[in-house]
Amino acid sequence: MLQKMFLIIGLLAFSSSITITNSYAGDANPLIKIPGGTFKSGPKGKSVNVDEFYINKFEVTNKEFKKFKKDFKYPAGKDDHPVAEITYFDAEAYCKSLGQRLPTQLEWEKAARGTDARTYPHGNDYDPEKANTFDSGTGDTVAVGSYEAGKSPYGVMDMSGNVAEWVNGWGGKDKKYRILMGGSFFDDDVRTKTHSHNSSIPDDVHPFYGFRCAK
């Protein structure tokens, strides 16, 4: 882990050679309709049913979050980067302020993988040119929607990499941990799959933890 952190620090010293195009339009973060029905969930592709719901096309950005929390500070030039270093409770409160909520783990997974049990939002083959992962070489977040080719079957962006996303789920029977989905710029091909998840205490903060809302 220490070696990986040194590598990331080194990556910050140069620009990635990967061409990315930001498709995020200012404050616009529409909710995309995800139809109800069954899909293949988890590494073994178990059939589960999820009711119809809506989910943000993009991860919530720094600029959006600052409108909710006026004293929130973030680095200059990162208005359209995903908000990070916030707790589960902050993410939950933001969504509630809009009359929305955090997606469940299964909702998030379906929005990411569709109904064909794909391994990554863009398909079954790992491609660091289609998602902001450790192997992409950015070493940091990028503006939401930058990887157009990496969108999910439903058109949801950045569900692999960029920031791992808080969801409404428990990471254990003792209910001490909350779940994060999708991995981040800090993670490799294993952690950024459509069914990949991590768990953390809900008041934990990291520069690679973010979220999006659902309804």
- CA dist list (Å): 75 to 21, 114, 119: 21, 34, 33
> Domain span at residue 51?
2-210
* Measured distance CA(81)–CA(5) in Å, rounded: 21
Only one residue has tokens 């997606």, namely: 103
**CATH number of the domain that residue 74 is part of:** 3.90.1580.10
Assess if residue 173 is contained within a domain.
Answer: yes
Give me the mean pLDDT over the 12-25 stretch: 38
Assess if residue 164 is contained within a domain.
Answer: yes
Assess if residue 215 is contained within a domain.
Answer: no
Whole-angstrom Cα Rg for the chain: 16
| pTM, full prediction | 0.88
Q: Which two tokens stand for residue 134?
A: 């450790």
Q: In the 8-state DSSP scheme, what is residue 92? A: H
pLDDT at 144: 98
pLDDT at 6 over 70: no
pLDDT at 28: 80
Assess if residue 68 is contained within a domain.
Answer: yes
pLDDT at 199 over 90: yes
Which range has the worst mean pLDDT, 13-17, 42-46, 185-189?
13-17
Assess if residue 93 is contained within a domain.
Answer: yes
Q: Are 8 and 37 in contact (CB under 8 A)?
A: no
pLDDT at 1 over 60: no
Give me the mean pLDDT over the 150-179 stretch: 96
pLDDT at 3 over 50: no
pLDDT at 27: 56
Number of domains in the chain: 1
Which range has the worst mean pLDDT, 13-22, 39-48, 125-134, 140-149?
13-22
Q: Are 197 and 183 in contact (CB under 8 A)?
A: no
Only one residue has tokens 């289609």, namely: 130
Q: Which residues pair with 49 in a beta bridge?
A: 38
SS (H, E, C) 134-156: HHHCCCCCCCCCCCHHHCCCCCC
Q: In the 8-state DSSP scheme, what is residue 31? A: E
Give me the mean pLDDT over the 178-189 stretch: 98
**Mean per-residue pLDDT over the chain, rounded:** 90
Instruction: Give residue 198's pLDDT band: very low, low, confident or very high (50, 70, 90).
Output: very high
